[in-house]
Amino acid sequence: MTGRVAIITGAARGIGAATVRALAADGWSVLAVDCADDDEAIPYRLGTKAELDAVVAETAALADRADRIGSFVADVRDPEALAAAVAVAESRWGGLDAAIGCAGVIAGGLPQWDVPLGQERAVLDIDLGGVLNLARAAVPALLRRPAPRSGRFLAVASAAATRGLPMLAAYCAAKAGVAGLIRALAVELGSTGVTANAVSPGSTDTPILAASARLYDLASPQDFAAHQPAGRLLAPAEIAAVLAFLAGPASSGMTGAVIPADGGLAL
């Protein structure tokens, strides 16, 4: 995949960070994007600039190509910031071949009508609005590659896109929206050579899962493992591996797909 360029949001930790590593290992140039700041509406600590820098430094060292890995601080709720990130990737490496929306948060812990409005809006604006904003900024860049193209627009949905999870209504709504967006983009992109797909993880060992455990008053995120036929939590690298496949040439026959990588949770 040498010469291919990707932008990845939510890159400071979790699935986003693992995807930066996976694509870099495959020879991609990667711009790792994260808001790198907390949000007062979200009841847990978000990724930091130090964590984003550490992901970039570690990945650059492993890839032995520091010039092929970069970072950019942007909130996915800000379309102009994402457009600026895309412009940086294009100017630095000559174009864009994949945009991967991994940024996400979770909040709730109450029936939908009792969840603070600020929390509900933050979940919807980041988890769904952030993917919409990424598409608005990145798809035109993917289409700027000359034909025949092989661009990829990818997003992280969730098993919550198809399951009703109590006290997480906004999260379920946002992830269902991501799945619907991917299907619509696939049709709109048609025969351009650019595809749109998503991955739906199950319970994955990330800060979002730890926050979910606290919302449900569980002793540990490991308590979620019993709900997956696989009997364990997934690792972020396992989700990143699916995203890396979808970003590559072997997925050329797939578009509009929402791929479960959930340890059987959706069964």
What is the number of other CB atoms lying within 10 angstroms of the CB of residue 213? Answer: 17
Residue 64, pLDDT above cutoff 90: no
Q: Which tokens sit at 129?
A: 């609005």
Q: What does the pLDDT look like over 144-165, one tens digit per residue?
A: 999 999 999 999 999 999 999 9
Q: What is the pTM of this model?
A: 0.97
5-255 CATH:
3.40.50.720
For range 154-181, the mean pLDDT: 96
Q: What does the pLDDT look like over 95-147, one tens digit per residue?
A: 999 999 999 999 999 999 999 999 999 999 999 999 999 999 999 999 999 99
pLDDT band per the 50, 70, 90 thresholds, residue 65: confident
b/e per residue 135-152 (b: at least 16 CB within 10 A): bebbbebbbebeeebbbb
216: Cα within 13 Å, side-chain hemisphere: 18
**Residue spans per domain, the chain:** 5-255
Q: What does the pLDDT look like over 194-232, one tens digit per residue?
A: 999 999 999 999 999 999 999 999 999 999 999 999 999
Catalytic residues: 171
Residues 178-181: contacts with CB under 8 Å, at least 24 apart? 178/101, 178/127, 178/128, 178/131, 179/258, 181/128, 181/131, 181/132, 181/135, 181/155
pLDDT at 1: 62
